[in-house]
Amino acid sequence: MMDFFVFLTNTVGATIFLAPLLAVMTGLVIGIIFGLLPGLGPLLGVTLAIPFTFSLDPVTGIALLMGIYQGGSYGGAITAIVLGIPGTPIAAATLLDGRPMALNGKVNEAISLATLASWFGGIISGIILLIAAPKLASVALAFGPAEIFALALLGLTAIATLSQGAVIKGLLSGIAGLLLATVGTDQYTGVSRFDFGMQQLSGGLTFVAVLVGLFAISEVLIQIETPIRSVKKGLHVRFRTNIFRSLGSRFSTYISSSVIGVCIGVIPGIGGVVSSFLSYKFAQETSRNGCFGEGEPRGVIATEAANSASTGGSLLPMLSVGIPGDPIVAVMMGGMLVHGLTPGPMLFFTNIEILDQIFLMFIAGAILLLPLGILLLPAFSWILRIPQPLLIAFVAMLATYGTFTVNHRFFDLQIMLVFGFLGYFMRKTAIPASPLIIGFVLGPVAEVQLRRMTAMAGDSPGTYLMGHPLAATILLFAFLSLMLPIIRTVLAARR
C-alpha cells in the first residue's frame, strides 16, 4: 500500500512538473520566432500570450511568458547575422561582428556562437536569480501598509528610468496610466469613478485589452505603413557542433559577459541593449588581439551572453521588490497580477512554493534553449521567408481573438482598438508606452496601501511615517530615483 502511495505521489508530481516544462518549451519556440521576425520581438510575443494563460495555472502561465522572454532575447541574433537587420533592439550589438562573419562565409559559425552564448548567459543569470532573489526579500516580515506603499511608489519611479531621452513625456504617460487605473467602482466607498455612466466600465478597464491595444495593435498599424521587406530565399542555417570548443578557449569572455548582463539587467530601465554594448566594449578593451567589427567571434559571444543574462537580471528587482526592470518585465508583472500573484517581498512568504517553481522553470528554459535552438534552426530559416502582409494579418487575428476570450465581451475589442490608435499616436510622437502600463499596474496598489496607511495614521501621518524608518528610507530612494533622470535631462539640454 505504501509503495502504491509513493508511486501515485511521484506520478502526480511529475504531471504537475510536466505542464510548466511544456509551457517553457512552447514559449521558447514562440519567443525565438517573434524575436527573429523584424518588427515583432519578445514584448509583442509576451503581450499576445497573456490572454492565453488565463486557462492555465499560475506557474504554467508564467512559465510560458518567461519562455517567450528568453527565446525572444536570442531570436533577434539570427536575423541580425543572416539579414543584417536586428530582429530585436537587443540584437543590435550582435550585428557588429555577426554580420561580417556571415559576409565572410561563416554564417553557421556566427549563429552557432550566438546560440551557445545565449544558452550560457541564461544559465548564469538563472543561478544568480535563484541565489540573490530570496536575499533581497528577507526583510519582508517588517513590511506593513506604509512600507508597501513606499515600495509601490519606488516601483512607479521606474517610469522615469524607462523614459530615457523623453523623461517629461514618460512622466505624462505614467500619470495617464495612474488616471486610467482609477476608472471603475471605488472598492472603499462603492462610488463609481470616471465611468461616464457606462455599465461596462464599472469594473474598470480590462488590462489585457489595454495591453494588447497599446503594443500589438499599434505595431500592426506601424507595420502597415512600412515598406514590405523582401522575402529571403535559398536560406539554410545549421548548428556547427565544433563550436563547443569555444567554451574552453574563450571561457573568460562567456563568464565576464554573463556577469555584466546580469548586473546591468538588475538596474531598472537599462536592459539588454545597454548590457550588450557594454559587454562588447569590455571584450574589445580586454582583448589582446582580434579585429572587432570585422567578424571577431568574441564580439558575438560578448553581446549574446550579455543580453541573454540580462533577462534574469531584469526579473530580479521585479520579483523581489516589485520594480520592473524593463518594458517586457513590466508586461510580465501585469500577467502575474492577473493570476493573483503580487510581485514583491511578500511573494516569498505568501507563495514561496509557486515562486520556487518559477525559478526552476526559468533555469529549465535557459537549459532547453540550446537543444531547441540546435534542433529548430533549419525551421527558423524557413520562417524568415514568411511574407510580411501574412504576418501582419496573423498578429491582428491573434490579438483580437486573445482579447475577446478574456471576458467574451465585444466592448473589450472596442477598448483594444481605442488603445491601439492611442499607442500608434504615442509611438509617432515618441511618447513611451511602458510608463503607462507601469502606472496602470502599480497605481491601484499604491492607492490601496496609501488609504490604509492614512486610516491608521489618523491626524498625524508625518509622525506615523517617522515611526516606520524603513518606509521613510524607501520613500527617500524613490524621490532620488525620480529626480536624477530629470536632473540629467535638464543638464543635457543646457549643454
- pLDDT for residue 126: 85
Checking if the pLDDT of 299 tops 80, the result is yes
Checking if the pLDDT of 48 tops 70, the result is yes
Q: Considering the chain, what is the average pLDDT of its residues?
A: 76
Rg (CA), the chain: 23
Containing domain of residue 125, as a range? 2-494
Q: How many CA atoms lie within 13 A of 459 on its CB side?
A: 0
- pLDDT for residue 421: 92
340-394 pLDDT per residue, tens: 787 877 777 777 778 888 888 888 888 888 888 888 877 776 766 677 788 778 7
Checking if the pLDDT of 461 tops 70, the result is no
More confident residue, 89 or 284: 284
* 492: exposed, middle or buried (Cβ count in 10 Å: 0-12, 13-18, 19+): exposed
Checking if the pLDDT of 239 tops 70, the result is no
Checking if the pLDDT of 193 tops 50, the result is yes
Checking if the pLDDT of 6 tops 50, the result is no
- pLDDT for residue 20: 85
Return all residues near 105 (Cβ < 8 A) that are at least 6 apart. Answer: none
The C-alpha cell at 29 is: 519556440
Checking if the pLDDT of 146 tops 80, the result is no
Domain count, the chain: 1
CA end-to-end span of the chain, whole Å?
A: 79
Checking if the pLDDT of 260 tops 80, the result is yes
Checking if the pLDDT of 273 tops 70, the result is no
Closest CA to 82 of 227, 238, 258: 238
- Residue 148 contacts residue 374 (beta carbons within 8 Å): no
Neighbour count for residue 167 (Cβ, 10 Å): 22
- pLDDT for residue 14: 44
More confident residue, 62 or 266: 62
- pLDDT for residue 434: 72
- Residue 214 contacts residue 437 (beta carbons within 8 Å): yes
Checking if the pLDDT of 156 tops 70, the result is yes
The C-alpha cell at 297 is: 567571434
pTM over 0.85? The answer is no
112-137 pLDDT per residue, tens: 888 888 888 888 888 887 777 676 65
389: left (phi > 0), else alpha (psi -120 to 50), else beta?
A: alpha
Rounded to whole angstroms, how far apart are CA atoms 138 and 153? 20
- Residue 304 contacts residue 283 (beta carbons within 8 Å): no
Q: State mean pLDDT over 65-83.
A: 82
Q: State mean pLDDT over 321-328.
A: 72
- pLDDT for residue 1: 36
Q: State mean pLDDT over 261-287.
A: 72
Of 6-10, 256-260, 382-386, 433-437, least confident by mean pLDDT is 6-10
Q: Provide the 3-class DSSP secondary structure of residue 185.
A: strand
The C-alpha cell at 395 is: 498578429
